[in-house]
Amino acid sequence: MHALQPKHSKLKPDEVKKILEKYNITISQLPKISIKDAAIPEGCTQGDVLKIERKEEGKSVIYHRVVA
């Protein structure tokens, strides 16, 4: 992982369920990230949900993406 690349981590099924319930959405409504993206962790397959932690203005901001 490059020093400037945001941290990408694969969520466990129970964590995915909590996220979907929190925002009252389905997995298909999450933004997509390509399976070919160099940033995704090894071992990810289509349908996995990633948590992306970015630093913005000194704060850690969390985004979620589904691997497509």
In a domain, 1, yes or no: no
Domain CATH number, residue 60: 3.90.940.20
Mean pLDDT for all residues in the chain = 92
Q: Residue 1: its pLDDT value, please?
A: 62
Residue 11 belongs to domain spanning: 7-67
Q: Residue 5: its pLDDT value, please?
A: 80
Q: How many domains does the chain divide into?
A: 1
Residues 6+ apart with CB under 8 A from 7: 1, 52, 53
At 56, the pLDDT band (50, 70, 90 cuts) reads confident
- Kindly give the pairing relationship between strand 49-56 and strand 59-67: antiparallel
Q: Residue 4: its pLDDT value, please?
A: 73
Nearest to 66 by CA among 52, 55, 5, 24: 52
